[in-house]
Structure 1
Amino acid sequence: MPSVFKAIVNALRDLIRFKVAWIIVWPILVATLFWLTIGYFFWDNFSELTYQAFSEMGIGEWLKNVESDWVAVSIQSLLHIIIFVPLIIITTLVITTIFVMPALIKLVANRNYPGLKREHGGSISGSIINAMLAIGIFILMWVVTLPLWTIGAGIIIPFVAAAFMNQQLFRYDALSEHASKQEIKIICASNRFSLWGLGLLTGFIQFVPVINLLAPIFTALAFIHFGLAHLKLLRAESEKSIRDIAIDQ
């Protein structure tokens, strides 16, 4: 796991660089405006769906029995915010991985991996398909595991879901510009547990108020550093093997 922690340290360093500042702001603003618009036009429908979900978890009946109306309304509003914030973060993650990653990759690659050849094994369509797959499985995880909240085991769901979302979204895009298709497959397959570990560690930040606004860009930087470092190592090992074969012959 040393490579995971090294990627996180490098991401923290890059996060405070001035050039990254503008990249941090606009995905969050777009995601927030999007969900504010959705909430304005579909708030009643959203409230009904939320209440049905609360009922499934046993919270709905409890809210009905709360004597003070303002207390019940305050609790419902707080729960709406708890749901609203993750939606913004998820949307920001998707915007980041599809639209912001090229700029971040350029920043990281030019400074830390200037000699790394670009093979362009990924594509925009591949990134979009990967993002749609990640969102679909993420939503399915929440729906299927919803009953676990009734027995208290649901507390682990957000962390597992965040770990999956992060590693699924960013592992492909972090390598898509520099690695070939085969190199992407090799790195993802041989570092499966490390990618999940990095996804989990970066996912924790998504649950820290205020700091979680930086989570999407921080996660992207961490996966870029992780991916490019392993790509550099993979190519170095491949070149060494070729030299060894040439010497033996």
Structure 2
Amino acid sequence: MKLLLNSFWRAVAYCMHPRVIALSFLPLILLVALSLGLGYFYWEPALDMVRSMLDASEWMGRMWTWLETAGVGQLKVALAPLLVIFAVTPFIVVLSLLVVALMMTPALVSLVAERRFPMLEKKKGGTLIGGLFWSLGSILLALVAMLVSVPLWLVPPLILVLPPLIWGWLTYRVMSYDALSLHASKDERREIFRRHRLSLLGIGILTGYLGAAPSLVWASGALFAAAFVILVPLAIWIYTLVFAFSSLWFAHYLLAALEALRAEQLISPTPPGSTASPVVVLEPVTVQDPHDLGNPPVLPAP
């Protein structure tokens, strides 16, 4: 718990560092360009498709009639943009995580290592290609889990638990690998994952809940169309800062855990993940000349 809290406050402090703030704008520029490009080409077709689906639904037609009777028929105008935005949001989150992992996390880990762990040896147990495949595989598993769990979101308590749990697991997988890829060997990484799995998952879940906060900004952008152009980049930047904070939190926690593991190995040099076998020291046995058969061999005293 001490390591968890210590790394948390250090990550908060590092978020105020000028280098971290400057790095947070690099993914923002890329994501804003991507969002505007997709919106320019596909926003209106997506709205038309959603509206045609809503108009073709007999059940939705009855609901529109009831809403118009109640005097709130204008909600029909805002429903289609809301549905499009809510459908796109998970993919924006995943893309933000991937962009931060590729563009920001190595720089943030280097910043933490330079300032706190300058003497920590770099064993380079991970590679860029390995990290990319690790991230893509984890993202694919998270998307499958999200799609499978969507029906459970209709149960009120589970919608507050399942999405942050899945995003937390994804954040833990991606950020932990990237934080240790340069400094830890494969065996050290596996050992740290084994020892600190619950704490790392807790960090991922907490940052997952933080990542759900910008969804309010997305919803506001749908309700106030005039501010949509401003609120969408703001939401993406908040996502980026949340992921940057999670990168710093994982970096502080994991590099400190790696330093402690190596200090432990210096005291008891046992390879990570292995079990030390007891060393048995045998005393030499003195045997007489085989030609001297008159006397028995001399054995050491017990």
Q: Normalising by the residue count of structure 2, what TM-score does the alignment of the two structures yield?
A: 0.71
**253, 259, 275: which one aligns with 1:232:** 259
**188, 200, 223: which one aligns with 1:195:** 200
Q: Which residue matches 1:154?
A: 159
Q: Which residue matches 1:108?
A: 112
Counting only pairs closer than 5 Å after superposition, residues 21-40 of structure 1 correspond to structure 2 as: 21-40=21-40
Q: Which has the larger radius of gyration?
A: 2
**In structure 1, distance between residues paired with 2:112 and 2:160:** 35
User: After the TM superposition, which of the residue ranges 30-39 and 141-150 deviates more from structure 2?
Assistant: 30-39
Letter of the 2:122 counterpart: R
How much is the aligned-residue C-alpha RMSD, in angstroms? 2.9
Letter of the 1:122 counterpart: G
**In structure 2, distance between residues paired with 1:158 and 1:206:** 10
- Asked whether the equivalents of residues 121 and 180 of structure 1 are also in contact (C-alpha less than 8 Å), the reply is yes
Alignment of 1:176 with 2:207, yes or no, is no
Q: Which residue matches 1:75?
A: 79
Give secondary structure in 2 for the equivalent of 1:179.
coil
**203, 206, 210: which one aligns with 2:211:** 206
Q: Which deviations, in whole Å up to 9, do the C-alpha atoms of 1:28-63 show, x marking residues without a partner?
A: 221232233223323366558878999xxxx96786
**In structure 2, distance between residues paired with 1:89 and 1:64:** 32
**In structure 1, distance between residues paired with 2:134 and 2:2:** 27
Deviation, 1:20, is 1.4
User: After the TM superposition, which of the residue ranges 97-106 and 81-90 deviates more from structure 2?
Assistant: 81-90
C-alpha spacing 1:138/1:39, structure 2 compared with 1 (3 Å): farther
Letter of the 2:266 counterpart: E
**In structure 2, distance between residues paired with 1:96 and 1:188:** 21
Counting only pairs closer than 5 Å after superposition, residues 57-76 of structure 1 correspond to structure 2 as: 64=64, 66-67=67-68, 70-76=74-80
Give secondary structure in 1 for the equivalent of 2:124.
coil
* Ranges in structure 1 where 5+ consecutive residues have no aligned partner: none
How many residue pairs get aligned? The number is 242
Counting only pairs closer than 5 Å after superposition, residues 210-221 of structure 1 correspond to structure 2 as: 211-221=238-248
**In structure 1, distance between residues paired with 2:20 and 2:49:** 38
- Asked whether the equivalents of residues 24 and 244 of structure 2 are also in contact (C-alpha less than 8 Å), the reply is yes
C-alpha spacing 1:61/1:4, structure 2 compared with 1 (3 Å): farther
Deviation, 1:203, is 1.5
Give secondary structure in 2 for the equivalent of 1:114.
coil
**In structure 1, distance between residues paired with 2:168 and 2:53:** 23
User: After the TM superposition, which of the residue ranges 232-241 and 183-192 deviates more from structure 2?
Assistant: 183-192
Q: Which residue matches 2:2?
A: 2
- Asked whether the equivalents of residues 52 and 60 of structure 1 are also in contact (C-alpha less than 8 Å), the reply is no
- Asked whether the equivalents of residues 145 and 154 of structure 1 are also in contact (C-alpha less than 8 Å), the reply is no
**In structure 1, distance between residues paired with 2:260 and 2:51:** 51
Deviation, 1:6, is 1.9
- Asked whether the equivalents of residues 47 and 81 of structure 2 are also in contact (C-alpha less than 8 Å), the reply is no
- Asked whether the equivalents of residues 32 and 88 of structure 1 are also in contact (C-alpha less than 8 Å), the reply is no
Q: Normalising by the residue count of structure 1, what TM-score does the alignment of the two structures yield?
A: 0.85
**In structure 2, distance between residues paired with 1:179 and 1:97:** 17
